[in-house]
Structure 1
Amino acid sequence: MSLPARGGPRADITVYQWSERSLTGRGDVGPVATSLDREALLRWNSRIEHLVWASQEHPGDTTPGFVYFRHENEAAVLRKLPVRDPNGRAGSTLTHVLTGPAGGIDLHLALAACRSDWDDWLPPPVRQSALLDGQAARGSGAERLERVPLDLVRQLLVEEQRLLGTLDTAAEDVPDDLLVRLAEALMEQPGAPLTVVGSPVDGEVVVHALAGLLGRVVLGSWGFATREENDAAKDLPQFVFVRGDGTGTRHATRRRVDAKADPGPPGPLRDQAARLVAFQRRRGTGALSRLLPDQPMANPSKIREWAAGHQVAPGLMSDVMSLLEAAPQGDLSDREDAYLRSPTAVPRIQLELDRATEGQLARLLALWRPDSLELQPYRHLREEIHTWALHRAFDGAGGDLLRELSLAPPGGRVVYRVLEERLESAARRRADFDVLPLLRIALQIGVSQTALDDMMRLLVARFSMAFLMSEVDRISRIAPAQARTLLESCARRRPGKERHHPFDIMRRTQFHAEAVDRMAPQNPWQAVHLYRLLLLCTTGEQLGQREVLDVLEAAGRTPSPALLQALLDGCRRGKAQDTVHAVVVQQYFRQHLPARPHDGDHGPDRRGPRD
């Protein structure tokens, strides 16, 4: 197939092949076709001319080798294919070079290219099939090629052909011992040149496995050469793979790992590398990503600190969220199981739950159902999960988390604990405390009535009645049902001196007349009940003359009939009742009699005519 024309970043293609006179004017293997201008060609040729030769395991071997490296803000990928020269002699090479911006030709694209058929996206004149069949002639105008659209190459290799997924599967075949030794070498000397001798799997597969393990941990160029005769050439990339038959490594400055040799005594990071490999292979790259630092590191001591920081128990490197997700399936090693059972794990688990996303908490709630037998040894952790999920819900969580909470509502102890923690936090910060979200969420997720009562009892005990009465008024404007719930809880509070001090609030609201209308719309007897609750909150159970006068003063010139009925129901006989009756009569006449006429307008004069 040919890639269609398209905008966006583009890469250049250069072909190296045996020629009597290449584009640089020399014989032997050199550039024979390119999309580069002459200046750029000479610049790139100086960087890669010593890297273009292919390596053969044996005569007749046509397995390609690949090279990837970056130079400042540019990068190149080479595919080197062993071929015969025009005279039929073995040992020549056909090399395609893709060059362009480093942001476009990154490690992922380079690794995917190692697994692709380049003829799928190369310009037709320089495809392997055309060149090996002799269809592209030198000197026929084919030297200047069209550039390749990088976004389409990436789309083809990564999205359509899913070649990185193919590499993921192949990486499972990298032996644990080899991966541990290479990880140890990288962690001890970040970015240092490393030669791998006799790898049992392809070089690009090993690099892909290492990049998945340490690409975001260890700083390095991550350049590679997958199939070299030796590591003696200059300017070789960071990782070089050579044969294991003894022909190979001569460059003294490179560290070497021989896949078939004894690994020797472990270094200071061998155990940490082994734990890291074991964790990734047991829990996957998704779990590993939660351990990774913000930026790759170049300092071995920093890398050692990072690795030690994720050792949750002796000999156990793990991500707590992965263990919590694995526990319901019974997928824990003995060491992991012992860790989750231990009370010493709780502080670390609390820290990770606090950092968890809403999606992660929702998933844990779905996994940690109360009826799961596998989770009985970890019952104390279910309470921790519910605690942090309820905190997040009170902070305004989305629908998924609320849905999971409603399927298995937290118990009263969790609700009480979360409320206490939030009250203490607000007190430390001297911040206002908003009661409404707590009431709304508790009712929405369906906490038990006992838990709701305990929650309301704690709220009512912690705040002054003046504050609570102002909250009843405020909440009634937004959520009348929740305002009623709060008022009913306030009325159950034991009497105290402080109960006689909320009248400043009540005067401003005419004894909550509008709030009662909102909480009991078109329901006069429910309004009477609510006024009785307000009287209990502000005056207590016994209403004497003084309390009646205070209430009537707060209610204003025209108190609600429902309030007057509540006063009559609750006040003592005698002066208190007489006072209420007088207001009732006064209100009746005010509503049913016309205004009293002014003096001098009393009808006709019945005394007769004057002299």
Structure 2
Amino acid sequence: MTTVDQILFGWAERDHEGNAGVRPVAHSGVRTIDRWAKRLQYVWATQDGQGEQPEETASLVHLVFDDEAAVLRKLPSRNPHGRGGATLTHVLVGDPLTIDARLALGLHDWPGWRDREPDGTGAGLAPLDLDDLGQAARPGLAALRERVAEVPDEQLTALLAQVLAEPAEDFSVITRPQLALPTMAALLDIAGPVAGRPWTFASRESTDKGSHQPRVVFLTARPPQSMYINQRRRVDVTEPPADSDTARFAAQLVELYRETGHAALERIRPRHPLRDADDVTLWRRSVPVVDGRIADPRVRLDIFLDDDLLRRAAERDVLMSERMDLVGELRRQPEPWLIAALRRWRSTEQRAVRHRELRDLLLAEAVQACLAGQAGDAVVEATRDAEPEPAVVARVFGRQVPEGGLDLSRPGHRRLLIVALALRMPADALDHTDLLAASPADELLDLVERHAGHYPRAMHLVLRHLGDAGQSPAAARRWYERGLLLDQVDRIAGDDRAKEVDCFRLLLLAAHGPRLDRAAAEALVRHAGVRAPLGLYAAALELAADGAAEQPVRHELSEQFLHDHGYLGPGPGTGHGRYPGGPVPGRPTTYPWPAAPYPAAASSMEGSSQPYPSPPRPSLAGTRAPAHTEWAHTEWAHPTAARETGGGVVPDPSRRDTSAPARRPGWGSPGPATSDGPPPPSDDHVGRFAGLGQLDGVSVFFVTALVLVLLCAVGYVLLTSMP
């Protein structure tokens, strides 16, 4: 840990040598305390403005020596003995490479400054952590940069013109004390480093005389004339500079600084620090000027939020040449900034239409941030709403996939896949052999169970990976525990029966391998229950190893067929399944529960990441769904009988076999009447013809005419045969 020492200077009474005055009264064990006592023996605070707040009357000073640097805060105060006019000076001492001007400026409002002298000369101070001081200085420096707006343009230009004319000189600046620190912050940001001369300063002084003065001393008023020879350049910022190329250049720099901030000056500043006026001239000639204004050669990120900056950058024709500088910067922006930019650059916005290349760059960076795990759900949603190109999402997704593929048991891998699908990545991007090879079978089944309704095409490919992985006992157990994923397969297949069979084939391959034996077939039929679609049994027959394996499946199919058409009673069937009543479906097309809404984009492009709850799955012994209309054979049913019975199918009497005449009640030997089979035989042969008496008049007429014709024919034959 790098530390910074502290020294506290205050008024001290006469010591053993008879000396009285300002000297160290406490410190943190500084080894060079005697040296600092000599360097700062005449450190006095200006006495004007007494009675004001300490932060307004204090002077902030930055000094650099060969091997040490210091930040001082000088405050007029009253010592514990009641002596007025004393100066309390709190000093932070450290390495000159770390105690620089920016750190000193940022500490202007540091709460650790001492406002009172210690009660005794023996009081000690502790060293400070340099990192803590640096963190405390950042907001202070940012606040000073914001206060630069309080400094009039002409005053800042007057000071900068003098500095650019003689960059290696020392300056005494006459200005209001409240503007000293903002002015110094702007001067440091614009002018940059000077070779061999670090920027040191004193913010509130009444004189600029003495040894080892800072480079810039801010005076509250012009000091009186004296015989002291002063080589410093005194600048009264209220006096405008002479008209020259350097003054015009200073005005352009001030304008650029106010408009774009300190970062723009760092981009156009020369590589080598300024040494003299010739270096300034070379710098002035190297910067681009458009319409009398310095053009920032770099495209700033704010063009995505500010249409005026976008227009000016387009007018300078630098959008295409400088856009690569934005790569990597956009994704590191705070989430609120990125969300605001994505909302402004949707495909329907005019700016997105005119500057398509910037929109593509923004979306590519946002997709990178989402898939790299650098963005939260709000950014993912904003990126999806901005509609990035699916090919871009697939390309970024491919770069993020580890070399060994995705292991869905790891949260980061699962999120990568789901976020990519939410951003409308094409499902074909999952069609790679080793993409999910490292994922356990139960994780793949869980993925399909959760997201089949949102991304059906992608989940079909996940099932292919599951089938390619081969037989797994864990897969069989998990598949049966999840109800054979009947609802999920139905959503994946839609109305495509070939896809339905393929999905079940892949699941059977994962659960039982390429050959389905009889035991596996019986287990499948037993677990399938009454809701099993025909696609499941079609896939089972395709993978059946032999006739023995096919037998339970075919028996279940025949039982479903008979039950579907009413030839089995409402009680339990005799096969492997149990049917509480009602028709058995082929593949269910409707369900007894309302379907949950799913995004329209899920059927066309795997596009929605909103979690929609799956519909509740009824018990396997519950009410069956209505039969598929494809299996309804109406020519087998008697319409009148169907209406009368209200269900089931009644055979048509006209199609019955009438080889055995119906027995009338009361004929033959008495006994219990049954409806099963023909009546028992009887010895009463007369009864066989008793039915003739039941003929109507028309029938009797035709029978009589037939008998007469036969008689006439017999008579004719007899007559013609006589000699």
TM-score using structure 2 length:
0.50
Deviation at 1:585, TM superposition (A): 2.2
- Is the Cα–Cα contact under 8 Å of residues 365 and 385 in structure 1 kept in the other structure? yes
Deviation at 1:315, TM superposition (A): 1.0
Name the structure 2 match of 1:608.
Answer: none
Alignment equivalent of 1:456, drawn from 397, 416, 427:
427
Alignment equivalent of 1:569, drawn from 528, 532, 538:
538
**Is 1:226 equivalent to 2:203 in the alignment?**
yes
Name the structure 1 match of 2:25.
Answer: 34
Identity of aligned residues (%): 17
Pick closer, same or farther for the CA change 1:39–1:292 going to 2, 3 Å: closer
Deviation at 1:48, TM superposition (A): 2.0
Alignment equivalent of 1:121, drawn from 115, 118, 121:
115
**Is 1:194 equivalent to 2:162 in the alignment?**
no
Deviation at 1:347, TM superposition (A): 2.8
Name the structure 2 match of 1:584.
Answer: 550
- Is the Cα–Cα contact under 8 Å of residues 123 and 146 in structure 1 kept in the other structure? no
Pick closer, same or farther for the CA change 1:300–1:109 going to 2, 3 Å: closer
Task: Output the CA distance in 1 between the equivalents of 2:357 and 2:274.
Answer: 38
Deviation at 1:389, TM superposition (A): 1.5
Task: Output the CA distance in 2 between the equivalents of 1:487 and 1:467.
Answer: 18
- Aligned residues: CA RMSD: 6.4
Pick closer, same or farther for the CA change 1:516–1:212 going to 2, 3 Å: farther
TM-score using structure 1 length:
0.58
Residue deviations 1:348-397, cap 9 Å, x none? 33343244455542343355566767766546534432332222212224
Task: Output the CA distance in 2 between the equivalents of 1:503 and 1:105.
Answer: 63
**Is 1:46 equivalent to 2:38 in the alignment?**
yes
Name the structure 2 match of 1:262.
Answer: 241
Residue deviations 1:203-257, cap 9 Å, x none? 33422444566889999754322355665532222322356589599555x6776
Name the structure 1 match of 2:419.
Answer: 441
Name the structure 1 match of 2:295.
Answer: 315
Deviation at 1:504, TM superposition (A): 8.7
Higher relative contact order (CA 8 A, sep 6+): 1
**Is 1:419 equivalent to 2:404 in the alignment?**
no
Alignment equivalent of 1:388, drawn from 365, 390, 393:
365
Task: Output the CA distance in 1 between the equivalents of 2:112 and 2:16.
Answer: 22
Q: 3-state SS of the aligned residue for 1:316?
A: coil
Task: Output the CA distance in 1 between the equivalents of 2:195 and 2:483.
Answer: 67
Residue deviations 1:528-579, cap 9 Å, x none? 9889648648999xxxxxx9xx97427896254469964753699xxx7996
Task: Output the CA distance in 1 between the equivalents of 2:107 and 2:417.
Answer: 57
Task: Output the CA distance in 1 between the equivalents of 2:140 and 2:436.
Answer: 63
Alignment equivalent of 2:88, drawn from 96, 104, 107:
96
Name the structure 1 match of 2:306.
Answer: 326
Name the structure 2 match of 1:607.
Answer: none
- Is the Cα–Cα contact under 8 Å of residues 441 and 474 in structure 2 kept in the other structure? no
Residue deviations 1:26-85, cap 9 Å, x none? 58xx4378346999775333102355485989xxxx9876533255456352537699xx
Task: Output the CA distance in 1 between the equivalents of 2:222 and 2:552.
Answer: 110
- Is the Cα–Cα contact under 8 Å of residues 64 and 200 in structure 2 kept in the other structure? yes
Deviation at 1:107, TM superposition (A): 6.1
**Is 1:406 equivalent to 2:378 in the alignment?**
no
- Is the Cα–Cα contact under 8 Å of residues 55 and 227 in structure 1 kept in the other structure? no
- Is the Cα–Cα contact under 8 Å of residues 189 and 300 in structure 1 kept in the other structure? no
Name the structure 2 match of 1:508.
Answer: 471
Pick closer, same or farther for the CA change 1:360–1:75 going to 2, 3 Å: same
Q: 3-state SS of the aligned residue for 2:384?
A: coil
Aligned residues: 499
Residue deviations 1:462-514, cap 9 Å, x none? x24x7678869475255234674777448699xxxxx9x98993533379645
Pick closer, same or farther for the CA change 1:538–1:335 going to 2, 3 Å: same
Pick closer, same or farther for the CA change 1:472–1:381 going to 2, 3 Å: farther
Please list, as runs of the form range in 1=range in 2, the aligned pairs for 1:494-573 lying within 5 A after superposition. Answer: 505-509=468-472, 513=476, 516-517=479-480, 520-521=482-483, 524=486, 533=499, 536=502, 552-553=514-515, 558-559=520-521, 560-561=524-525, 566=535, 569=538
Structure 1: unaligned runs, 5 residues or longer: 1-7, 84-91, 126-141, 494-498, 541-546, 594-611
Deviation at 1:456, TM superposition (A): 0.6
Task: Output the CA distance in 1 between the equivalents of 2:403 and 2:88.
Answer: 68
Task: Output the CA distance in 2 between the equivalents of 1:102 and 1:281.
Answer: 33
Task: Output the CA distance in 1 between the equivalents of 2:390 and 2:405.
Answer: 20
Name the structure 1 match of 2:685.
Answer: none
Please list, as runs of the form range in 1=range in 2, the aligned pairs for 1:458-477 lying within 5 A after superposition. Answer: 458-460=429-431, 463-464=432-433, 473=441, 475-477=443-445
Pick closer, same or farther for the CA change 1:33–1:107 going to 2, 3 Å: same
- Is the Cα–Cα contact under 8 Å of residues 61 and 202 in structure 2 kept in the other structure? yes
Name the structure 2 match of 1:89.
Answer: none
Task: Output the CA distance in 2 between the equivalents of 1:258 and 1:169.
Answer: 23
Task: Output the CA distance in 1 between the equivalents of 2:483 and 2:287.
Answer: 58
Task: Output the CA distance in 2 between the equivalents of 1:508 and 1:578.
Answer: 15
- Is the Cα–Cα contact under 8 Å of residues 202 and 214 in structure 2 kept in the other structure? yes
Name the structure 2 match of 1:204.
Answer: 181
Kindly provide the amino acid, as one letter, of the partner of residue 302 in structure 2: S
Task: Output the CA distance in 1 between the equivalents of 2:477 and 2:158.
Answer: 75
Residue deviations 1:566-602, cap 9 Å, x none? 4753699xxx79966531327899xx99xxxxxxxxx
Deviation at 1:441, TM superposition (A): 1.6
Please list, as runs of the form range in 1=range in 2, the aligned pairs for 1:122-161 lying within 5 A after superposition. Answer: 122-123=116-117, 144=121, 146=123
Pick closer, same or farther for the CA change 1:63–1:392 going to 2, 3 Å: closer
Alignment equivalent of 1:14, drawn from 3, 9, 18:
9
Pick closer, same or farther for the CA change 1:179–1:386 going to 2, 3 Å: same
Task: Output the CA distance in 2 between the equivalents of 1:165 and 1:468.
Answer: 49
Pick closer, same or farther for the CA change 1:441–1:479 going to 2, 3 Å: same
Please list, as runs of the form range in 1=range in 2, the aligned pairs for 1:63-82 lying within 5 A after superposition. Answer: 67-70=61-64, 72=67, 75=70, 77=72, 79=74
- Is the Cα–Cα contact under 8 Å of residues 15 and 32 in structure 1 kept in the other structure? yes
Name the structure 1 match of 2:589.
Answer: none
Task: Output the CA distance in 1 between the equivalents of 2:313 and 2:405.
Answer: 42
Task: Output the CA distance in 1 between the equivalents of 2:483 and 2:284.
Answer: 63
**Is 1:239 equivalent to 2:219 in the alignment?**
no
Residue deviations 1:188-210, cap 9 Å, x none? 999x6631443466433422444
Single out whichever of 166-175 and 216-225 deviates more from structure 2. 216-225
Pick closer, same or farther for the CA change 1:169–1:581 going to 2, 3 Å: same
Task: Output the CA distance in 1 between the equivalents of 2:400 and 2:86.
Answer: 71
Q: 3-state SS of the aligned residue for 2:241?
A: coil
Structure 2: unaligned runs, 5 residues or longer: 50-55, 79-83, 408-412, 556-574, 577-723
- Is the Cα–Cα contact under 8 Å of residues 175 and 218 in structure 2 kept in the other structure? yes
Deviation at 1:406, TM superposition (A): 2.1
Task: Output the CA distance in 2 between the equivalents of 1:280 and 1:437.
Answer: 43
Pick closer, same or farther for the CA change 1:81–1:198 going to 2, 3 Å: same
Task: Output the CA distance in 1 between the equivalents of 2:285 and 2:472.
Answer: 61
Alignment equivalent of 1:348, drawn from 318, 322, 325:
325
Task: Output the CA distance in 2 between the equivalents of 1:176 and 1:102.
Answer: 35
Q: Is the radius of gyration larger for structure 1 or structure 2?
A: 2
Pick closer, same or farther for the CA change 1:337–1:111 going to 2, 3 Å: same
- Is the Cα–Cα contact under 8 Å of residues 11 and 88 in structure 2 kept in the other structure? yes
Deviation at 1:419, TM superposition (A): 1.0
- Is the Cα–Cα contact under 8 Å of residues 213 and 280 in structure 1 kept in the other structure? yes
Task: Output the CA distance in 1 between the equivalents of 2:284 and 2:332.
Answer: 19
Task: Output the CA distance in 2 between the equivalents of 1:48 and 1:355.
Answer: 46
